[in-house]
Amino acid sequence: MDGFIIINKKENMTSRDVVNIVCKKLHTKKVGHTGTLDPMAKGVLVIAVNKALKLVDDITSLNKEYIAEVTLGIKTDTLDITGNVLEKEDITNINKEFIEEVLNSFIGEYNMEVPIYSAVKVNGKKLYEYAREGKSVELPIKKVVINNIELLSVDQNKFTFKCNVSKGTYIRSLINDICKKLGTIGCMSDLIRTKQGKFYIEDAIDLDDIDEDTKLINMIDVIDFPILEVNEYLYNRIKNGSKLENRYNYEKLAFTYNKELIGIYIIDPKDGSKIKPKNIFN
């Protein structure tokens, strides 16, 4: 049993909670997720089982799509509605055109401040540990990409938008910066991940519906780089982890034998005429 499951995560669960439950239901310890969702967030959480764990980095790096709700007039320590309220202000008028203008200004590369309530480490310590201890720390800046962003609705002091973003984008932080550009305060009050790479929320299943008979998504079906079927000679070389001649002109290449994934190769940084194994699926 190797492959992926698309879970439609419910709110008030951690991503680790979901992994633990899948482990019990499938009777295996080799389970992991491909991108954390905050406890309050819902939607697509891609779960890797057994050999599919070797593809976690590839799936985690895929772009993600979200629908987020913003509540204006409330600032919290966690940047979402679950946090402690730090400040409030009355919101009397929201100009839809101005919101759209501000949202569009974020399209492209964007230097994002990592939120204090996150698991990113600074000096070997997780940021949320500094927050819980009341200690100040310089928050890291990371470069992310906002591929597109679209205003969906505006209702009194709330608005909803959809965005497609690169790996590592904190929607809470994006919302915080959007509110700053709007000249007000606000926080994330709802979040749904609707897509990650080829994984769509329409194909997701509820955690309660998983059992030993659940059909997993084949590893080959989620790969978004070239796939090449090989003969028995190359199969044996790949199975043994041998380097191969770089005849393919691809940065990354998957090999199959009898339509089963056997290896992923990348260009050897020390010798561009060769490709070397990144993952071997024995």
Q: Catalytic site residues?
A: 38
Taking the C-alpha atoms of residue 81 and residue 178, their distance in angstroms, rounded to an integer, is 16
Residue 178 near residue 160, CB atoms below 8 Å? no
DSSP alpha helix (H) spans, the chain: 15-26, 56-60, 96-104, 127-133, 171-182, 232-239
Residue 58 near residue 35, CB atoms below 8 Å? no
- Regarding beta strands 186-196 and 64-72, do their DSSP bridges make them parallel or antiparallel, or are they unpaired? antiparallel
Q: 183 by DSSP, 3-state: which?
A: coil
Q: 171 by DSSP, 3-state: which?
A: helix
Taking the C-alpha atoms of residue 44 and residue 203, their distance in angstroms, rounded to an integer, is 9
Residue 80 near residue 66, CB atoms below 8 Å? no
- Regarding beta strands 158-165 and 64-72, do their DSSP bridges make them parallel or antiparallel, or are they unpaired? antiparallel
Question: What letter would DSSP give residue 220?
Answer: G
Cβ atoms within 10 A of the Cβ of 39, count? 16
Residue 260 near residue 251, CB atoms below 8 Å? no
Residue type, 205: I
- Cα radius of gyration rounded to whole Å, the chain: 22
